[in-house]
C-alpha cells in the first residue's frame, strides 16, 4: 500500500459534531488520508458515505485502504473537487445528506512530498497543484502573471507584509531567467524582505507560498461554491462540521454559517406569526472548537486549527 502518513486534526470532535445516524447518507468533502472517512464508516450500518478528493494519490490510497467498504457499497470515492458536490451526488441519485465534514487546507502528505512543490522546505518544481490533471501551476503564476495580479494574490491570499517588494523582485528575476524551483523562489523572497523582518514571524516564504497555493487551486472560491451547495444539500437535522487552518478560510466559513443562521431583517411594524421568519439553520459553535493542549503538543500542524458547525432545523 502507498505510504500515506497523516495525523487527522480534531478527528473525534469533528465527527461527534455530526451526530452520525447509522443509516444516514454522509459526505467527507476532503478525503485526504481517510481519517474522517474511517471514523464515519465505523458508525454506519446501512448508511452510505461519499468521499471527495481531487488528489489522485488520496484516491488511490483509499481505494486500497477501504477496498472492502467500497465493494460493499458502503463507501463511494469521488475523484473530483468538492465544488462539484451537488452534481456529483445527483449523478448517484442523492439529493439530500445527513452530514458533511470538511478538513480544509493541504494534507500532510502533500506538504511532505517534496516533488509536489507545496513546501518551502524541499527543493522541487514550482507546482502546488492539488489536482494534477489541471494545467495551471505555481510556476505559471510566478513567471507569467502580470505584476498587478501577483501583488493582488500576495496581498489578498498571503496577507503578506511586503507584497509589493516580493512581486517586484519576482518580476526583476524572471526578466533574466525563468523561476523554476521552490528554493529559487525562497531566495528571491528572502532578498525582497528586509533583514530584521526575516528574523521573526516564522519562515519568510510561508505567506507567499500560501498565497500561490490558494491561487493555483482557486481554494477560497471553491470553498464558497462547495459550502453554498452543502448547506442546501442538508436534510432536516443535517449537520456540517468544518475544520480550517488559516484565517481566510475560517473567516469565510464563519461568515457563511452566520448568514444562514441569522433571521432576515424585516420591515418595522410587519405582523409576524411565531416562527414565520426564523432562520432555517442553527449554529452549533458560537466560538470555534480548538485542539486540546495535548493534541497541539503532539501534532504541531493542529495549532492553527478551528472547528465550526451548523445544523439545518427540522420544521
Choose among 290, 293, 241: nearest CA to 15. Answer: 241
Give the pLDDT of residue 2. Answer: 47
Distance of CA 219 to the CA centre of its chain: 7
Per-residue pLDDT of the chain (315 residues; tens, 9 = 90+): 445 556 788 999 999 999 999 999 999 999 999 999 999 999 999 999 999 999 999 999 999 999 999 999 999 999 999 999 999 999 999 999 999 999 997 765 555 566 788 889 999 999 999 998 999 999 999 999 999 999 999 999 998 889 999 999 999 999 999 999 999 999 999 999 998 888 777 899 999 999 999 999 999 999 999 999 999 999 999 999 999 999 999 999 999 999 999 976 666 666 555 555 689 999 999 999 999 999 998 888 888 999 999 999 997
Query: Does CATH place domain 115-217 in 1.10.150.170?
Result: yes
Q: Compute the Cα dihedral for 221, 224, 225, 226 and give only its sign.
A: positive
Q: Domain extents for the chain?
A: 11-103+219-312, 115-217
Q: Report pTM.
A: 0.90
Per residue, the 3-state secondary structure of 130-186, as one string, reads: CCCCCCCCHHHHHHHCCHHHHHHHHHHCCCCCCHHHHHHHHHHHHHHCCCCEHHHHH
Task: State how beta strands 48-52 and 234-244 pair.
Answer: unpaired
Assign domain 11-103+219-312 to its CATH architecture: 3-Layer(aba) Sandwich (3.40)
Give the pLDDT of residue 276. Answer: 59
Q: What are the residues facing 99 on neighbouring strands?
A: 26, 239
- What values do phi and psi take at 21, rounded to 5? -100, 135
The SS3 of residue 48 is strand
Amino acid at each position: 500500500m502507498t505510504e500515506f502518513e497523516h495525523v487527522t486534526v480534531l478527528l473525534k470532535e469533528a465527527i461527534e459534531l455530526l451526530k452520525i445516524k447509522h443509516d444516514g447518507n454522509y459526505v467527507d468533502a476532503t478525503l485526504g488520508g481517510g481519517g474522517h472517512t474511517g471514523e464515519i464508516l465505523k458508525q454506519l450500518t446501512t448508511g452510505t458515505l461519499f468521499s471527495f478528493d481531487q488528489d489522485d494519490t488520496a484516491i488511490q490510497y483509499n481505494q486500497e485502504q477501504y477496498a472492502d467498504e467500497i465493494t460493499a457499497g458502503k463507501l463511494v470515492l469521488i475523484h473530483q473537487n468538492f465544488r462539484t458536490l451537488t452534481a456529483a451526488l445527483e449523478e448517484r441519485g442523492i439529493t439530500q445528506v445527513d452530514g458533511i465534514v470538511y478538513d480544509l487546507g493541504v494534507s500532510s502528505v502533500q506538504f511532505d512530498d517534496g516533488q509536489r512543490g507545496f513546501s518551502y522546505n524541499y527543493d522541487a518544481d514550482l507546482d502546488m497543484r492539488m489536482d494534477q490533471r489541471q494545467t495551471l501551476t505555481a510556476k505559471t503564476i510566478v513567471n507569467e502573471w502580470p505584476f498587478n495580479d501577483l501583488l493582488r494574490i500576495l496581498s489578498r491570499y498571503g496577507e503578506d507584509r511586503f507584497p509589493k517588494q516580493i512581486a517586484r523582485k519576482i518580476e526583476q528575476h524572471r526578466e533574466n531567467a525563468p523561476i523554476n524551483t521552490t528554493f529559487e523562489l525562497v531566495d528571491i523572497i528572502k532578498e525582497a524582505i528586509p533583514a530584521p523582518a526575516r528574523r521573526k514571524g516564522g519562515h519568510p516564504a510561508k505567506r507567499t507560498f500560501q498565497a500561490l497555493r490558494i491561487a493555483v487551486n482557486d481554494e477560497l472560491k471553491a470553498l464558497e461554491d462547495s459550502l453554498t451547495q452543502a448547506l442546501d444539500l442538508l436534510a432536516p437535522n443535517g449537520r456540517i462540521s468544518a475544520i480550517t487552518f488559516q484565517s481566510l478560510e475560517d473567516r469565510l466559513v464563519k461568515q457563511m454559517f452566520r448568514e444562514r443562521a441569522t433571521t432576515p431583517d424585516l420591515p418595522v411594524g410587519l405582523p409576524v406569526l411565531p416562527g414565520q421568519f426564523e432562520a432555517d439553520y442553527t449554529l452549533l459553535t458560537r466560538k470555534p472548537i480548538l485542539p486540546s493542549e495535548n493534541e497541539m503538543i503532539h501534532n504541531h500542524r493542529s495549532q492553527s486549527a478551528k472547528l465550526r458547525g451548523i445544523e439545518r432545523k427540522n420544521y
